[in-house]
Structure 1
Amino acid sequence: MTVPLTVLVAVAALALAGWAGWFVAKDRAVILRQLFGAAVVEGLLVVQGVVAGVLLATGTTTGSPGLFWGYVLASLVILPFAALLAFAERTRWSSVVLLAAAITIVFLQLRLVQVWQT
């Protein structure tokens, strides 16, 4: 897996987390632009999954493929579920959910790098 792409995903997720954190501090609900930001992060995650799939298909190996793909799939489903919850809950807690999801994506990126390098 390419480290620059992983860093890009982590930075984008951190930016989304900061934006959601600001809304938590201001006691505001998630707005549509934040969900578009989450969609951008999700798009980067899809690209990352495709790149990882191509690398594994062309002979690159990872220590634990099942664990690796588990983390990839988990990162792909977290933001859509958070967006659904944020859309349904129109209070400050929608921002908290988006913040938690974005921070989880950052930590999953760190773990993906660790699993890839073993």
Structure 2
Amino acid sequence: MLDVLTVVTAVAALLLAAWCGWAAYRDQPTKDWHFIGMAVVTLLALVQLVVGIVQLARGEKPEQGTTVFVAYLLGSFACVPAAGFLSLGERTRWGSLTVAASGVVLAVLEVRLFDIWGG
């Protein structure tokens, strides 16, 4: 897998987590700018999903199994959008905190994807 893409996605997810965590600390819900940040992080996760599937289609194999790898790819892609939808329903600081938590979860998933691939 592309190590640079994994690192960039993890760093972007942590930046989103810090930004939304700051909003939660200031007792603010998610705003339009936060959703733009979520879109950027989701786009990075989508690129990673496509790259991972292309590498699998080319015959490359992850060290710890294809099924686990694809499951983690799909989970990392769905993590931030799911939290974004939840934050739309919770228009308080807890919506921002949910998105912040998803950023941390995505960063952890990125580390795990790196390990599964054989990094």
Scaled to the shorter chain, the TM-score interval is over 0.9
Query: Could you tell me the TM-score, scaled by structure 1's length?
Result: 0.96
When the two structures are aligned, how many residues end up with a matched partner?
118
Task: Describe how 1:63-78 pairs up with structure 2 within 5 A.
Answer: 63=63, 64-78=65-79
* Structural RMSD (CA): 1.0
Which amino acid in structure 2 is aligned with residue 42 of structure 1? Answer: T
Any gaps of 5 or more consecutive residues in structure 2? none
Secondary structure at 2:61's aligned position in 1?
Answer: coil
Cα distance in 2 for residues equivalent to 1:59 and 1:31: 42
Percent of pairs with identical residues: 39
- Unpaired runs of 5+ residues, structure 1, are none
Partner of 1:4: 4
Deviation per residue, 1:85-110 (Å, 9 max, x gap): 11111101001100110100000000
**Residue 36 (structure 1) aligned with residue 36 (structure 2):** yes
Matches of 1:77 and 1:61, distance apart in 2: 23
Cα distance in 2 between the residues matched to 1:87 and 1:46: 21
Name segments (4+ residues, structure 1) moved above 4 Å. none
2: CA distance between counterparts of 1:72 and 1:35? Answer: 21
Query: TM (normalized to structure 2)?
Result: 0.95
